[in-house]
Amino acid sequence: MTATTTGELLGAEGITVRFGGLTALDRVGLHVAPGSVVGLIGPNGAGKTTLFNVLSGVLRPSEGTLTWKGEPAVARRPHESARAGIARTFQGLNLFPKLSVLDNVVVGADRTARGGPLSMLTGLGHHHSDEKRLRERAMETLESFGAAQYADRLPGTLPYGVQKQVALARACVADPELLLLDEPASGLSGDQIDALAGQIRTFSEDMAVVLVEHHMDLVMRVCDHIVVLNFGEVIATGTPDEVRNDPAVTRAYLGTPGNGDTE
């Protein structure tokens, strides 16, 4: 992708999140360079999803700063993050159950429409051309994710693997600059995970990717950089090889030493 900034795309510094007396995240830092794939790993309850929610604007940190393309991104709400170019998928997919697959993806493309509020209310102005373009764009994206033949179906009637592709299509249709993937491999077969690894590498040609994942094999294969969380703290960062050989990680997460890549 053409680098919009020479430096980092997203930076998080000293992020602390407290839920009452529980400190879910304690001074966590994360840096994402354009076009890189960052993996976020850690045992259950380590704070991975909490950090994800902070990055996507769903949750406001108690302390700490977020920067987007070098600019501070203060008190941003989810739809503003999305409009700034951050897309995400959900662990539970969260497809719109009563919208067709095509409409699901069209909603993802909504932010690329040119018409303003008035065109939406009246159906005049850019509305007609917007609708046509959004549908075409959604259809093309569905085709590239191999789900075009299901365009008219409801998501609930499709196999899980296809639903996952629809969720990915919805996240990618508006050409985000940062894609947050929450457990993209859960519930997939070995072959499907291989295909997913390829897909994530393809995404990184266009956008930066941050993924939360339990499948170590996938994480080690696709990530340029890995951040390991445990009990809300960063216990290790580095390349897959560095993390694999880090004794702190082995202790906290992988169990038996030297056997890190097989989970």
The contact set with other proteins (CB under 8 A) reads 56, 58, 77-79, 81-83, 87-88, 90, 94-99, 103, 106-108, 110-111, 113, 115, 120-124, 127-128, 130-131, 134, 136, 140-141, 143-145, 170, 172-175, 202, 205-206
C-beta of 27 vs 111, nearer to other proteins: 111
C-beta of 5 vs 202, nearer to other proteins: 202
Q: How far is the CB of 195 from other proteins (least distance, A)?
A: 13
Q: How far is the CB of 132 from other proteins (least distance, A)?
A: 9
C-beta of 155 vs 240, nearer to other proteins: 155
Q: How far is the CB of 170 from other proteins (least distance, A)?
A: 7
- Rounded to whole angstroms, the Cα distance separating 152 from 163 reads 13
C-beta of 170 vs 215, nearer to other proteins: 170
